[in-house]
Structure 1
Amino acid sequence: MSVAGREAFDWLPIFDLSTDDAFRVIRDAGQAPHWIYRHLSRCSCSFCIFSSPDDLRRAAELRPDLYQRYAQLESRIGHTLSPTRRYLPELTGIPVNPDAVQRPRRRRVRSP
C-alpha cells in the first residue's frame, strides 16, 4: 500500500478474521497454532490483566509456582493486578499457599 509516496504495511493481516477463519489460515499455510491455544483463548502474559477468569485459572494450573508468586504479591502490596480489583484467588478459585513459594536467600557480598 502506498500513502503520500510512502510505503505502508498491514501488520495485522488476520485482525478482522473470526477465530475460526484465523485458525483456518494457519492450517492452510501448513502451520500449527501456538501450543498455548490448546489451553487458553489468547496468547499473552501468563496472568495478563486482560485475561478471562477461565484463562487465569488455566494459567494457574499450567504455572502453579508463578501463580502463587503473583497471588502472594497482590496480598503483600494490598492491591490487585487486575483492573476488576478482584484478587487472583477470587478470580481463579485457587487459594494461596504461603509455603508454595520459596523466597530466594539473600547472599552477603563482601567488600574487597
Structure 2
Amino acid sequence: MTGSLARWSVHHDHFRDQPELVLGGVTWGWLHQAFGSRRHIKRKAAEAIQQPVLVLSAPADRLVVADRHPAFCDRLTHCTLIRYPGARHELLMEEDRIRNPVLEDVLAFLNAQGF
C-alpha cells in the first residue's frame, strides 16, 4: 500500500489502540457502486466532462491498474495525469520523496483552478 513503513505503522497503531475506528475492507456494496460507476462513465461521452480532472498515478500500485490511466485521461477534455515512479496505492502516506511532490502537485492543481 505504501513504501513508508513508518507512516503505515502510525496509521495502523491507531486501529490497534482504538479498534472502534476500524472500518473494514471493501464491501460488496462498495464494489457494486464502483463497477456501476465504471459502466456509467463508459456510457457517457467523456468529452462532455468539462471539469478539470487531476489523476495521480502510482505505477507500483497493486490495487489499481495504473496502465489504464493514460487512456482514461485521453478521453477527457481537461485531464492532467501525473505519474510517480515507484509509488504505491497510498500516495499521501508514501515516503517523502513521493509524498512531497504529490502534495505540491495537488496544491498547484487547486491553485490553478482558483481554490
TM-score (norm 1): 0.27
Q: Of the two, which has the highest radius of gyration?
A: 1
User: Per residue, is there more helix in 1 or in 2?
Assistant: 2
Instruction: Compare relative contact order (CA 8 Å, sep 6+) and give the higher one, 1 or 2.
Output: 2
User: Per residue, is there more strand in 1 or in 2?
Assistant: 2
